Structure 1
Amino acid sequence: MSFYISLSGLKAAQSDLSTISNNVANVNSTAFKKSQAVFGDIFASAPMQTTTQVSGQGVRVQGVNQQFTQGTIETTDKTLDLAITGEGFFTVKRTADDQVSYTRNGAFSVDENRYVVDTTGARLQVIPLDPTTGASTAAAPLTTASLTDLQVPTNWPAGATGNQLSSVGVSEEGKITGVYADGTTVYLGATAMAAFNSQEGLRQQGDAHWTSTNASGAPMLGMGNSGLYGSVRSGALERSNVDITEELVALISAQRNFQANSKAIEAANTLSTTIVNMRT
């Protein structure tokens, strides 16, 4: 039995090492959220058995939980680099299959069709606004179907010539405005911020993207700098929330745990060999 108990310990230590290694590998990934392996003991006994005379049967991995703590905000001075201070996610949609996902990686840029896209090519989703007043024109309650792709026209009105774009601005609420050559300021949309009842229930998709599940609950959409939603900072990006010093200490601990379980297997093997080689 000791072989299998120590084997479960080896597997648990290996899972811990893999989780820590993934955290360390992504220390420079934009908006990466670190994970932590959670373990639980295995215990079983017969109904008529005295539990004080039964030892445990090993350890198991209960899950690998994501840690959605705030990462460091790094200034970039690029207008379409957006960071969230507080809770919430940006909403993006892939054009290939219309899949909606959520991210805190705000490294946005403009593609050849003037759509604002993230590093994976998914388009930033915005709440439609009145171009003049900036008031929302979407019906309540907000759903992903109410959102539109953000497009920054080179000229205003869109398709016209002469009145070219001068600059783009983003407020703390996430309202995107375009200023044109004649001084006209146009509201292009407001970044659709998403919040969830259980962030830990989100399904990872890679590239700092997540999709909603039954465990996370349906997304609650709104504008930034209000309620559950953090404020939007233009010209900045959120770095990984991995503390490299903390991870290296955890790595040493996991390595020692692995070595201890290896020694336990070695001791059990020595004991078994001694018993087998005993002569009467």
Structure 2
Amino acid sequence: MAFQQGLSGLNSSSKALDVISNNVANASTVGFKNSGTVFADAYASSLTGAVSKVQIGIGSAVQAVRQTFNQGNITTTSNPLDMAINGNGFFEVELQNGGYALTRNGQFNIDKQGYIITALGDRLMGYQVVDPISGDVRAPASVTADSFRTMVIPSTGVGAAATSEVGLSLNLSADAPTIPDPAPPALPGSVPPNPNDDSTYTYSTALKIFDSLGKEHSLSFYFVRRTDVVDAATVPPTYSEWDLYTVADNDTASLTYNSRLGFDGLGRIASVTPQVTAPGVTPPLNGSVFSATLGSDAIAPSVIELAMNSITQFGGKSTPRELTQNGSAPGEIAGLAISRNGVIQARYTNGITKDIAIVNLTTVRNNNGLSPIGNNYWVETPESGGFARGEPGNGLNGVISAGQVEESNVDLTQELVQMIIQQRNYQANAQSIRTQDQILQTLVNLR
């Protein structure tokens, strides 16, 4: 009996040593999860007809190898496509031989076809449903075969976009002197400023705009303060009026009286009276339009809405705060960035950014029910439950850390200590067997 128990202890120590050795060997593997052995007593049915129907002494057997899915340390890398999951969930990949697998190894690259792949060539899954209004990707209301797919980085860039909206955010000085309109019968705005003579206008600024071919043009604005208090009887009183003139591509021949701006006593824009119209285009509230033929855009004039709600009139200097426009030249992808919510954003050479994909995270009810298939991959089983797919940061899903990877959660120091302990146990069991063998040999030699 003692001999059998010694063999049992030797066998258990050997199996535990194998598990510890495997953990130590994989301690530096990205996404590897620690595992431990669950042992159970082994019994044999009695063949002697004794009262007890079972016999002890066979020892122990491995009942299960249970993995620990707690978080590993996060390490920064130089690859922008590397991703670490902070929290719950797995990356889901489509295997080359069919089927799907889960992994915590977030080391990804792009293949020649543009797919985001693992080191083994398996493709990362996610969402690439394009919003018809914004042109960016969005998460689908329900996961379908059309919305959930292998993600591919587009090989083409973005085309040119003609400017259709301009936003003016600036301050016009309330301290500026007025430059009155000429006396009647001349009409307001009939004597425009001279861009080459700064005494004929109060303030000027400019920004870049684009035609339908993506060619760059300049749009200049000339502001002329015409009057101070316009109507003190109104509530609140109307203070100051300004004329706005526009010039395209610094061509003084295109100088146009665009609109008259009125301000109230709080320095806010009170009214905009457009002087330029365009068929079928309604100016925005407190705004106007700009209409001109820009260079090679000869099919039709470019019509641009000018939003002026953010123009103010306070004391001090006339200064621009922000001049915006929605046009752009064509561009190619210059880089990628990934948000904590898994949104892959492409940065183009023309300065445009665009959301092109969303990384998916998959969870199961029972992580320990997953079946490991090697290469840090797991597949679902009836014990794990089915895949539940969703966006990072949604519900119980973790979030993404881009440019980082999750290291193995193996505590190397603890594993080495356990290995030493198991080795001592192994040696003690081996010495016990040796002693028992010597005693048996002495008994055999007795005559």
TM-score of the two chains, using structure 1 as the length reference: 0.88
| Paired residues for 1:75-90 under 5 Å | 75-90=76-91
Q: Name the SS of the counterpart of 1:251 in structure 2.
A: helix
Give runs of aligned pairs for residues 199-238 of structure 1, distance below 5 A: 199-238=367-406
Name the structure 1 match of 2:255.
none
Q: In the alignment, what sits opposite 1:97?
A: 97
Kindly state the Cα deviation for residue 260 of structure 1 after the two structures are TM-superposed: 1.9
Over 3 Å counting, the alpha-carbon distance change for 1:124 and 1:103 in structure 2 is same
Match of 2:29 in 1: 29
How many angstroms apart in 1 are the aligned matches of 2:94 and 2:21? 30
Q: Look up the match of 1:107.
A: 107
Matches of 2:146 and 2:67 in 1, distance apart?
28
Task: Work out which of the residue numbers 237, 242, 256 in structure 1 matches 2:410.
Answer: 242
| 1:234-255 Cα distance to aligned partner (Å, 9 max, x none) | 0101111111110011001111
Structure 1, unaligned runs of 5 or more: none
For 2:53 and 2:152, the matched residues in 1 are separated by 70
Q: Tell me: higher relative CO, structure 1 or 2? Use CA pairs within 8 A at least 6 residues apart.
A: 1
Q: Secondary structure at the match of 2:92?
A: strand
1:260 equivalenced with 2:428 (yes/no) = yes
Query: How far 1:72 moved relative to its partner?
Result: 0.4
Question: Paired residue for 1:121?
Answer: 121
Structure 1: which amino acid aligns with 2:356?
A: L
How far is the alpha carbon of 1:261 from its aligned partner?
1.6
Instruction: Check conservation: 1:89, 1:194, Cα contact below 8 A.
Output: yes
Shift of 1:45: 7.8
Residue 147 (structure 1) shift: 1.8
Q: Residue 156 of structure 1 aligns with which residue?
A: 157
Q: Which one has a larger percent helix, Structure 1 or Structure 2?
A: 1
What is the CA–CA distance in structure 2 between the aligned matches of 1:243 and 1:163, rounded to whole Å? 48
**Structure 2 contact 129–147 (Cα < 8 Å) conserved:** no
2:139 — aligned with what? 136
Aligned-partner Cα distance in 1 for 2:375–2:334: 32
Q: CA RMSD in A?
A: 2.5
Which secondary structure state, in structure 1, belongs to the residue aligned with residue 431 of structure 2?
helix
Q: Which residue of 1 aligns with 2:51?
A: 48
**1:4-19 correspondence runs (5 A):** 4-19=4-19
User: Residue by residue, what CA displacement relative to the aligned partner does 1:8-28 show, whole Å, maximum 9, x if unpaired?
Assistant: 222221111111111111121
Give the letter aligned to residue 16 of structure 1.
A
Higher mean displacement: 123-132 or 248-257: 123-132
SS at match of 2:6: helix
Give the deviation of 1:146 after TM superposition: 5.0
Larger Rg: 2
- Could you tell me how far apart the structure 2 residues matched to 1:58 and 1:199 are? 30
Q: Summarize the Cα distance change of 1:61–1:134 in structure 2 as closer, same or farther, 3 Å threshold.
A: same
Higher deviation after alignment, 188-197 or 57-66: 57-66
Higher share in strand:
2
Q: 1:264 to 1:129 in 2, by over 3 A?
A: same
| Whole-angstrom distance in 2 between the partners of 1:256 and 1:45 | 33
| Equivalent residues of 1:41, 1:56 under 8 A apart | no
Q: How much does 1:157 deviate?
A: 4.8
Distance 2:394 2:13 in 1: 42
The alignment covers a number of residue pairs equal to 272
Distance in 2, matches of 1:107 and 1:198, equals: 25
**1:148 Cα offset (Å):** 0.9
Distance 2:53 2:443 in 1: 28
Question: In the TM superposition, what whole-angstrom CA distance separates every residue of 1:134-154 from its partner, at most 9, and x where no partner exists?
Answer: 4223x52x3678521111113
Question: C-alpha deviations, 1:205-226, integer Å up to 9, x for none?
Answer: 2221111111211111111112
Residues 145 and 59 of structure 1: CA distance in aligned 2, closer, same or farther (over 3 Å):
farther
Deviations 1:107-165 (A, max 9, x none): 1111111111111110110123325254223x52x36785211111132359xxx5200
Q: Residues of 1 paired with 2:115 and 2:154: CA distance?
A: 9
